[in-house]
Structure 1
C-alpha cells in the first residue's frame, strides 16, 4: 500500500474546486472526483447540472455517495506525507522549536542535537544518536530533525507525532486521530495550517495597523481642528468686537449729529419767527397811527378841508401778506420722528437676526442634551472600590479626598479597591444600553470623571493609554484633557456640573457642560466587551485646595 501511495502525487488527490486534499470525496458519472461539499455547493449555484472539469451535462442530478476507497487513500497519503522525515525542513524546524535543541543525553557540556526520536521522545547529538543507526531494534525508530519539547508534539493517546491540524476543531492531530475521529473534518498538514494561520495573523495585523493609522489620523485631525477652531474663534471675536465697536461709534456719532442738527434747525426756526413777529409789531404800530388819522379825517366837517386832506393814492399803509408766512415745524418734527423710528426698527431687526443666528447652536445643544437626559439612571458609589484616602457620604452620592496618612498601605484591602488612583466606581454596571448621569464638581481645581470596565486595573498605577479600560476627561485648573491622551487639551474653561452620556451599542461616550449645554468631549467608535461602571476621581491638592466633593446630583432636565 505504501509503495503504491508513493507513486501518487499530491495533485492527484486535490479537489479541482477548493484545491485542497479531497475531503469526503465523491465521483461524477464522468469519472472526476470532488469534495462532497464543494460539488454540492457548485451545483446549488448553477442552473445546469454539469461536471466542473469536463462540462459534461447530466439530465438528472446524480445521487452522490462518498467514495470510501479514495477517502482512505487521501487519508493514508496525508499520513504518509506527515510522517516522512523529509517534510521537516530546517526552516520549519526553527519555526517549530523557536531555539537550538540540545542533546538530552549529554551530561557535561550539552551538545546541539541533530536528531529526535519519536519513540524514545529524546533528542540526540551526533555521538549519542549513533546507536539508532547501528542497533537493529533502534533502527526501526523514527528519527526526525531536532524538535524542542518533543513530548508536547506527540499524541498522548497514540504516541505518534502530531503532524496534522483540524480546521474544524482547531486542534493538532496524529494520523490515527485524523482518520478515526476527524475523518469528515478539514484536516491539513501542520506546515500548511501554520502558513494559513500566519497569513491570517498577517491580515489581522494589517487591519490593526490600518485601524491604528486611522485613529492616529483622527486624533491628529481633531488636534488640528481644535487649533483651527481656536484661531477662528479668536479671529471672529476680534472682528465682531471691532465691527460692533465701530457700529456703536457710528451710532454715537449719528446721535450727536442728529441732536446738533435738530437743535440748530429749531434755533433757526425760532429766529425766523422772532423776525416775523418784530415786523408784524411794526406794522401794527403803523396801522394804529393810520386808524387815528382816518378817524380825525372822518370827523372833519369842512368839506373843502376834508377833500384837501384826503390821502392819495391809498387810504391804507403798505403791509406784508400774512398768508406768505407759514410755521409748520411740528409736521417736520413728526416726519423726522417717523424716519428715526423706522431706521431704529430696521437696526433692531438686524440685531435680533444676528442674536438668533449666534444662539442657534446653543438651542440645538439644549435640544440634544434634553434628549440625552431621558436616559438618566440612579447612580450609587461602591465603597469596596474606593481608595482608602476617599470619604463617601452616607447616601453614597458624594466622594471627596481626605489628607490621611500612608498607614493604609500596610492593611489588607479588598481586591476591588483602587490603591494608586484616588478613584471609586459606581455600584451598578451597564451593558448594551444607553445611560446618563450628572455630577456636580463645583469650584474644584482638579478632577477626573468617566466610565470604566469591570476589569480596569485597581492595583498600582493605571497606564494612560487607549487600552486602559477607562474613558474619562481630566480637568486641570482651567483646561480639559482625556485620560488616555495626557497633554492634549480638548476643551478650555471651567464647568460646575457635568453630564455623562454613554451609548454602549453605538460605541460613544460624551461629556456636557450642563449649564451651557456645551459638548466638552466625545469618545467615538469605541468597542466594549464588558459592563461599564461610572468612575469618579476627586484628585488631591496638587493644584491648590481641592477638598470639595464630587456629587452625583439628580438630573436637572433642560427646559
Structure 2
C-alpha cells in the first residue's frame, strides 16, 4: 500500500473546479474528471455545456454517472494520507496520553501504529506484520490509528465515513455519497460538518447560558420579592396588632372610666338622698315632739300659764326648707344613653368599614388573576360516558348542554356508567388531593346544578335530596340558590356568570364563590369525605325558561383573567 501511495499525488484526485478531493467523481466525454455537484453547477450557470478544462462544447448535456473506480481510488488516497489524520482528531477517543492502544496485545497493550478498516482493529508494529506479509491482508486499507472503528465504517461498503449529507442528515462513505439515493444531495466533509455543528452548538450554548442567566435572575428576584413580602407582612401584622390592641385598650379604658363615673354619680346621689332622709326624719321627730307639747297645752285651763307655755313652744318650731331637695337621676342616665347611642354606632360603622375593606382586599386576592386559590387549580375534562342521554358534550370535553327532544343520534344507547334520572355528567378525573380548585362558566342560564359527588354515587335512578346522599352541590333556579341536599331552602340570591369551586379535602369542606364579585355563595362543612370526588355538572332542562346555553369548564390556561 505504501508503494502504491508513493505513486499517487494529491493533484490527481483534485477537482479542477473546487480544487478539493473528488466528491462523487464523474467523467465527461472529453475524458476530464470533476465532482458531480461542481460540473452540474457549472453547466447550470452557463448557456452551453462546455468542458472547463479543454473547452470542448457538447451539443447535448451529457448524462453523467459516478465513476466508481475513480471514487474508490480517491477514497483510498484519502484514507492513506497521514497528513489528513487531523480530520479525525475532533472525534478520536484516545487514551489519557492521546494514544490508541493495540487491540491484539493481551499483557501490556502497546501503542497502535495503524488501524485496519476491514478488520476494524488497531495494531501495534508487531501485530501489524501479517498485513505486510499475507497476500489477502495486503489488500486491506490501513489508516492512522483510530479508536472505535466500528462506528466510523460504513456498514454497507466497509469504507470510512467521510461525508455528511445535509439533505438526509446522514453520515456517508464516498460510495454512499455517489449513489443514486444521495444523488444531487448537498453533502460536505465530516470536518466541515463538525465545524458547522460546533459553531451552531456554540451559538445555542450562548443562548442557553443567556436563558439560564435570565431564569437565575428571575429566581433571585422572586426570592427577594418573597423575602421583602415576608418582612412587610410581619411589619403590617405587628402594626395591625399594635394599633388594634391600643384601640381595644382605649375602649376598655373608656368602658372602665364610664362605669366608674356612673357608679360614683350614683353613689353621690345615694349619699345625698341618705342625708336628706336623715334630715327629714329629724324634722319629723321634732314636729312630733311639738305636736305632743301642743296637745298637752291644749288641756291647760289657766289662761296665763297657756300663754306663757305657748310662747315657749313656738320657739321649738323648726325652720324647715329641706323639702326643696330634688332627686332626679333620669336626666344623667338619659344623657349617658344618648352619648353611647351616638358614639357606639359610629365606632361600629368604622369597624365594619375596616372589616369590609379587609374582606374585599383578601376576597379579591383569593379569586384574582394571581390568586392563592388558583395555586390549587386542576385541569378537568368531562367524561361523555357518564352523561345523561339528552346531554351533548363538546368535542373538547369542556362544555355540556341540554338537548331538547329525544337523545341525540350520536348517543343512541345509554352507557352503563351514565346518569339516567339527572341531566348530569361527571369530570373524568377523581380528586382526592389536599386542596383543589376549578371554575365553571354558567353565563345567563336560568337553571343549573354544580358540585362534587362521591365515587360510588348512584347513577341509575334518582339521587335522594337529603343530607348524606353523597352529592354536595348548589342548585340555581328561579333567581335563587339552594343546596341539593336541602331543597326549597334559599341560601343566596343573585345571578352569577362564573362559579369557583374550592375543596379542602383534608378539612371536609367545599366552598362555592361568585368569581366576578369575589364573594362566597355557600360553604359545605363537616362533609366527611371517605371516597374520591368527581366534579358534577347538571345544565338542567328548560323548566324555568330558555336554558340551552352550555356549562363550560374554564381551562387552566384561561383561568388567570
Shorter-chain TM band: 0.3 to 0.5
Q: Of the two, which has the highest radius of gyration?
A: 2
Question: TM-score, normalising length from structure 2?
Answer: 0.42
Q: What TM-score does the superposition give when structure 1 sets the normalisation length?
A: 0.42
